[in-house]
Chains A and B, each alone.
Chain A
Amino acid sequence: MEMKKYIFTLAIASVCFANSAFAQGDNSDPSLLSITSEKNNLEFTAGGRLMSDVAYYHSDFTTLKSGAAISDARIRASLKYNKLYLYADFDFSGGKFAQKDLYLRYNLKEGGNGTHSIKAGFYADPASMGYNTSRYQYHFITRAAPIEALVTGRQLGATYKFYNKYMLLDQGIFAENRYNNQEAGYQGITLAGRWVYKAIRSDDMTLHVGAAARYAKMNTGYVEKNIFKQSQSFGASLETSVDATDRFLHVDLPWASSNLNLSGELLFHTNKFFARGEYLYKHVGKTQPTQELLEAQLGGLWSAGSIAAYQKFIPYRDNKFSGAYVELGYLLFGNRYSYNDEMGVLDGMNDDNALEVVARYSFVNLNDIVDGEYFLRGSKKFYAGEMTSAAANATSDPAGYYYYMDYPLPSTSVPGGKAHLVSLGLNYTFNKYVKLMAEYKYTRVDHYYYDLDKNIHAAQLKMMFSF
């Protein structure tokens, strides 16, 4: 039934596509359907987007599923009325409906000194340059892995933004759960902002530096045996959409109760060249109701008898993760690269018959390992322990020199995985409606659970349509 609805919607969009008057005033807006009423100062656009990927993987051991996939299928609509702008975007790839951007923006003041606006709804919080760059305009088949792993994504909230030729200031407040349908707890709160200074800004060249910060106090979870439990999981694929498994980069963090994200960014472009990059850091704070947990496990042979015993042998601690990427591009054929002041990002390449060569190095580290803890592959666990007397003179083989505890398991190490990824790509833009991307990617994996996997190669193609 749901699929029929999508097909029907697509059919409507296709009819519109075939019969509407094309408006191509804005070179970066690929919407084919645009209805303008100058009398009412109203503009309506509608469009869709489709991305399909083909990938072939070659791995050392654990197989990734080569093949083809529709990685993105969307419909969107926008309405502009005077200073008011309404935007709605929905994804139905994978046969599932997903709400994407849905927001209302009002420009408080527009003019030569800059634009002030407020925005409310469901959309990406400002705290990452990469996440605020549309995938259709991205120059790479996927966003960099550290963005996928460490940036939270869309949230329900409101922001105030100011931008002009010299700067962009974007900050706001968001809620943790957009539907407020958590089993227990109340809406957490997020404060996020991104601030960019443009040292150079002209049509031919831009240099911007920026920073972003995000603090989230999470408070949604569930209740089990009268204990309120929170957790957080995140990860990233190996910058591929066909097999988007995050098994090599994934963490599950019980008791996660807060996030602090910090990032720095740099972007530079000329007509024929661009370079951009971000460093991202994420601190996950944790809170454990130790008293309640102690009480819940009391009374058994295997129980801790005191708070001190419980904390000593079933400890928890905050975690830290990080990542970074650098992206380079050179335009072989095409007019020039351009910069989007409103978003503070590089525009996509939308020139007819443009061809660019791109390269990216990215790094993401989801390991947070305690020094001295021993990982046993056989049990997929880390063991903490006290040094034996023999350890004092040990020069190697630490496994033999610690009193490792296997009950309780006091380790606090998080083996989420680490990866270095290098991409080389060639992108061809037929026109702003159709783009073809090809990429070779090498990934160096370092994951405790997948120690036979070190080298993963991928050849990928992506075809994108937007209308």
Chain B
Amino acid sequence: MKRILIKTMAVCAVGGMLASCEKQQFTDQRQEVTLVEAQLNELPPDLQKVRDYVVPDAIMAHRGSTFWTPEETEAAFRWAREIGADYLELDLQCSKDGVILALHDDNLKRTTDIENVYGEFIPTTRKQYYLDHGLTNVEAETQLGKDKATFIPYYAASYMYEELAKLDAGTWFNIKPEVGEPEQARPAFGTIKQYISTLEDVIRIAEGKKLKRDVNGNREFTVKPIDKSKAQIDRAWFDGSVSYEVEYVFEYEDEIAAQWNGNRPGIYPEFKESWLNPSDMEKRVYAELARLHWNIITEPASANEPFYTGANNTVNVGNTNGKVVLQTFAISSLVRTAEVFGGKVPMNFLLWPNSGSLLEGTPSEYVSSINLAIANKAHIIGPSIAGAPNNYPESNHDWQAYLISKAKLFNHPYSFDTYEQMNKYYGVWDKGLKTDYNYKDADGKVRRYIDGMFTNHADATLKFYHDQGKTGKFKGTESAQDVLVRLGY
């Protein structure tokens, strides 16, 4: 009896091992995709309608262009408009007195001459700023004391816009320490003073305007007296500083005919780290868009407005309901944007592997990030792509693009610097390597799922789309350099 039992135990154990068929799938992410697809949510129909406000095969001029021009300056955005970009891409920050800026870094040293102008110290003109704009001597002294206590050198939100306007945001581009004088250097980036742009600057440039300058070449603006009853800026938690919000009136003028080809691109502003900006930054942007008549919630465009017009397919995105597309990496901003804009303005949730919203980029993780985007009323996923010169970590593998497609979101990867990258991620080089993850576009072409590109070479990206048979895009014939010359740079 005992022997029978022992034998039974042994047979059961060995038999169980042999009969069992474990799914050892963890090394194959494609296998994992099949497991997690069921967990993937789908963009609801009402949000799909908003998604479709965005122009197909969108060309987002990344900071205008980081290759041809000093980034996020008037020169960069004017060039992007003229070259035929669909969107002027910008980053949102806030000056200490409440002006919404187009600025990427959280430190002004790289893209301005601030070390020479102010050094590490609070501008010596700060008290005079308060006196000039309506505070009494005692009030100015009190406010100056508060400012000194919370001053962080080189951080944009430590400075009034009036102080930021004294900085040169163009000359650095001509003498990059890491490469010496770059091939793209142009004396005009220094002689025609480039400013840290504001959100309003970018919108006005998209409308075919440029900064109005005085005889000395300085931009013209006026500052209204400080309204002491107006809500002060609360700059989050980390320094506890508060500032008066000040109203600026910026002056613009229409481009002359030779310097505007009629393109009216949209804008693609990014909410930066929420903790570096006022806690109500999203509401401020909502209000600023409304003030400038670019908020489609308060002023919807005609549903029939085309993305391109005329024989040259002149860019008309800035007149459509897709004129503004929002974006962010920050989960806190994603959630706030959902509440403030209610999913009624296209929104891109950007993914950054190894940190932020996507750690390792496994299918399971990827699905959770897509679901988070959908839960917070985003319409687009913005994955990073690999390749020089940025060498970002990859988060736009074919199966990742497939998951975005399956969720019915748009896929706007960042940032393209080469034609080679465009070929790769558009699926041109997928010949013979067709997978289940390919996508059939409106033209019936089987390719990788991608709906637009953040690009530092809007010129090359436009050419790429033309090469792919996208004949509806802007028919520009000028080279990137020719456009700069035509604009006076």
Contacts and interface: CB of A to CB of B under 8 A. Distances in A.
Contacts of A404: 331-332, 335
Given A388-B336, A400-B338, A461-B10, 8 more contacts: A58-B22, A66-B22, A378-B365, A379-B357, A390-B339, A403-B335, A406-B330, A461-B13
Contacts of A36: none
25 contacts: A56-B17, A56-B20, A58-B21, A63-B26, A66-B22, A301-B155, A313-B237, A332-B5, A377-B368, A378-B357, A378-B359, A378-B365, A379-B355, A379-B369, A399-B371, A399-B375, A399-B376, A402-B335, A405-B274, A406-B331, A406-B357, A407-B330, A438-B12, A452-B36, A461-B10
B332 A405 contact: yes
A405 B24 CA distance: 36
B296 interface: no
Contact of A301 (B106, B274, B375, B377): B106
Interface in A301-324: 301-306, 309, 312-313
Contacts of A428: 2, 5-6, 9
Nearest to A54: B13
B237 A66 contact: no
B366 to A, nearest CB: 7
B242 to A, nearest CB: 13
Contact of B23 (A60, A377, A405): A60
Nearest to A63: B24
A400 B106 contact: no
Interface in B239-273: 239-240, 273
B297 interface: no
Contacts of B1: 333
A54 to B, nearest CB: 8
Contacts of A400: 335, 338, 375-377
Interface string A443-467: 0000000011000010111000000
A376 interface: yes
A62 B26 contact: yes
Interface residues of A, number: 55
Contacts, number: 147
Interface of A: 54, 56-63, 66, 301-306, 309, 312-313, 332-333, 353, 355, 376-381, 383, 385, 388-390, 397, 399-400, 402-408, 426, 428, 436, 438, 440, 451-452, 457, 459-461
B301 interface: no
Contact of B35 (A390, A402, A408, A452): A452
A403 B340 CA distance: 12
B364 interface: yes
Contacts of A61: 23, 25-26, 32, 35
Nearest to A402: B335
Nearest to A333: B2
A62 B31 CA distance: 12
B487 interface: no
Contacts of A301: 106-107, 152, 155, 276
Nearest to A405: B332
B22 A378 contact: no
Contacts of A58: 20-22
B120 to A, nearest CB: 12
Interface in B308-367: 330-332, 335-336, 338-339, 351, 355-360, 364-367
A309 B26 CA distance: 42
A385 B26 contact: no
A62 B24 CA distance: 7
A397 B375 contact: yes
Contact of A63 (B22, B336, B357, B371): B22
A385 B369 CA distance: 18
B237 A459 contact: no
A459 B16 contact: yes
B368 A408 contact: no
Contact of A309 (B10, B152, B238, B364): B238
Contacts of A436: 6, 9
Contact of A304 (B5, B13, B238, B375): B238
